[in-house]
Amino acid sequence: MSTAEESIPHGNQTAKAFTLTSALWFAVATTFGLIAATYLIAPEFLTNIEYIHFGRMRPMHVNAVLFGFATPGLLAAAFYYLPRLMKTQLYSEKLGVFSAVFWNLTVAAGTAGIALGHSQGREYAEFPWVVDIMVVISFSLVIINFLMTIRRRTEPILFVSIWYAAAAVVLTACGYCIGNVIWKPDTGALVGIPDAIILWFYGHNIFGLLLSPLGLAVAYYVLPIATRSPLYSHTLSLLGFWSLIIVYTHIGTHHLLQVPVPTWLKTIAIVDSVAMVIPVMVFLINIWYTVKGKLGDVHADIGAKFVFTGTIFYFFANIQGSMMALPDVQRITHFNNWVVGHAHIGVFAFSGVTALGGLYFILPRITGRPLHSLFLADLQYWLVLIGVTGFGIVLTIVGLIQGQAWYNGETLYRTLPEIQPYYVVRAALGALIVVGAYLGLYNILRSLYLNRGASA
């Protein structure tokens, strides 16, 4: 960090608030996920409690991961690096803290709404209409703070992390309105094929234009600092940014290849899905060449270790995603647990692990003290790594079993005994992640508020 940056006072209250938000919802979201996984082993588990049966628990888990854990974790890092890269103060710490509080209320309201049965029943768009409005307000508060801080900057050059972070919140606020059809509060949906097209435009962009840009922004900030290396190529970073924005926007329809969507739209989705290799490989070449020969420094910094691991999972998520958009591949891999495994690799293994890295990277810097326990952070790293890697393997195997069985006309009841052992392993791996989440919550709480370590 430069002397000019160090001379600027930073309150860090917003970064702290979003850090705590992410850690808390990580524990809650993974608990939801473990309960849902248990239902797949024992369908009568807690079956008499209507608020947490599988049909409600699954969307509660998904939305808590998306909007409660991953996004706030990535925003916490953004609220840390934004003023430093701009060489100015955050526009408003009060607005930032209020936005974090309002964000928590929004996710809590959405979760409660789903638990009570008030769901719009659309993938990644389950929140009731009132909560949809709260989500848009939450993003708007973040956008104001971001853009006003950028406007007041004293640094003329916008580092690539700023490009990614600003684009993520602005584009998602717009995309959320479209995908959740907020102009129709009675239904929150259109009718028929147009609704499916709009839903998957939004559904895929919640990953590609929110979690991906925010995650890449954290990687671009953390890894050069941790390795004390200049970014390999600023030109490549901008090429990766614009290719991501252009290519990713149109791929959602690859989820609708089996339905009567216009062929030209399916073709665009397939071509752009395969073309996603461009922004992904541009980013990976850039960031991996930046840390080339410095893996020892990456390993020595727990935050950087999480983030670098996230970049590896980003590679696997892209290769898998591009391949499964091909019609011949999708005949086997779609509508089964292959897609669930892919979602866990992209959302949790890439975005979630990167978010955790961002949190552990900024924690000593926003508190002025070392982490409460480096051992607990490292233990969480291994629990999460083993858990999510196992998830990807197990769910991919189950998906292939299901896909091949259904493709060859096998009846469902014959498939279930074959995949039951894999569901048991899946729940066990999920338990590791839950333990890691609660260890992380404890460690982050102690680091923020009850840390008696020496000042850094």
Q: Which two tokens stand for residue 438?
A: 């609660």
CA–CA separation, 71 and 64 (whole Å): 10
In the chain, the domains with their CATH numbers are 10-447 (1.20.210.10)
Task: Report the pLDDT value the prediction gives residue 121, as an integer from 0 to 100.
Answer: 87
pLDDT of 6 > 50? The answer is no
CA 110 to chain centre: 18
Read off the pLDDT band of 3 (50, 70, 90).
Answer: very low
Residues 235-251, mean pLDDT to the nearest whole number = 93
Percent of the chain with pLDDT over 90: 89
Query: Residue 198: what pLDDT?
Result: 95
**What is the 8-class DSSP label of residue 50?**
G
C-alpha span between 93 and 365 (Å, rounded): 17
pLDDT beyond 80 at 4 = no
Encoded amino acid at 171, one letter: L
Contact (CB, 8 A) for 79 and 96: yes
Using one digit for the tens of pLDDT, what is the confidence trace for 412-450?
A: 888 999 999 999 999 999 999 999 999 999 999 999 998
Give the model's pLDDT for residue 5: 45
Degrees (nearest 5) of the Cα angle 150, 210, 99?
60
- Which whole number is the average pLDDT over 59-88? 97
Burial of 177 (0-12, 13-18, 19+ CB in 10 A): middle
The pLDDT confidence band at residue 453, using thresholds 50, 70 and 90, is: low
> CA 428 to CA 423: how far, in whole Å?
9
What are the helix and strand counts (H, E) for the chain? 19, 0
Q: What's the longest Cα–Cα distance across the chain? A: 68
d(CA 425, CA 420) in angstroms, rounded, equals 9
Amino acid at 251: I
Q: Tens digits of per-residue pLDDT, 330-370? A: 999 998 999 999 999 999 999 999 999 999 999 999 999 99
pLDDT value of position 332: 93
Alpha carbon 40 to its chain's center: 24
